[in-house]
Each structure stands twice: as C-alpha cells, then as structure tokens.
C-alpha cells in the first residue's frame, strides 16, 4: 500500500525519473473541477497497487517548469513513468476501471 506523494520542480527528477518503481504522476491544480473528480480515483489506485506502482501529485500552478517540460497543456493529465521515461499519458477525467486497464496494459 502506498499513499500518493507530492512532487515539484525540485523533487521531480529524483522521486519520479529516478524511481525503480513505475510512477503515475497526476498533474493537477486546485481550481480544476475534473482534477478534483479524478483525485480519489488516482489515490485509490496508488493504495491498491502500491507494490508495483507509486502515485505522485504535481500542482502545475506551483511547478510550472515540469509541466512545461513535459508539455502538460490540459489538466488533469496523468503520465506513467517507467525507467525514467514516459510510458503512458492520459488527459482528462478517467474512470477507475478504464485507468486501471490502461495502466495494466503498460505495466503488463
């Protein structure tokens, strides 16, 4: 079981790109309605798949550099990083079952 953790411009590289475990990053902002809808789904997936997947949350208002570097233009954007590289990207609200299916397709 793994609780989501916050990352920012200074911690992203070590916590996400340097992770041996795949990391699903939730790019969000507090004013974003769809972000608030997807938040409990992403958190539940992090708790349920904690052995094989970590979940990080990045507030794009506070970490504009990372959002720009990874071309995050719409939120919520969920990017799955594996071995320091982007392995999957989903934009907009995702139902839990659909997001789990997509993650499982990437992770095998």
Q: Which residues are catalytic?
A: 32, 35
Provide the 3-class DSSP secondary structure of residue 82: strand
The two beta strands, 54-59 and 5-6, are parallel
* Cβ atoms 80, 22 nearer than 8 A: yes
Cα end-to-end distance, the chain, whole Å: 19
Q: Where are the alpha helices (DSSP H) in 18-89?
A: 33-48, 64-69
For the chain, strand residue ranges (E) read 5-6, 23-28, 54-59, 77-82, 85-91
């Amino acid at each position: 079981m793994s609780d989501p953790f916050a990352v920012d411009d200074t911690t992203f590289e070590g916590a996400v790109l340097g992770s041996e475990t795949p990391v699903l990053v939730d790019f969000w902002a507090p004013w974003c309605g769809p972000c608030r809808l997807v938040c409990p789904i992403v958190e539940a997936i992090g708790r349920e798949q904690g052995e094989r997947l970590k979940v990080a949350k990045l507030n794009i208002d506070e970490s504009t550099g990372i959002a720009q570097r990874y071309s995050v233009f719409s939120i919520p954007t969920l990017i799955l990083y594996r071995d320091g590289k982007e392995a999957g990207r989903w934009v907009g609200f995702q139902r839990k079952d659909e997001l789990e299916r997509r993650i499982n397709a990437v992770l095998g």
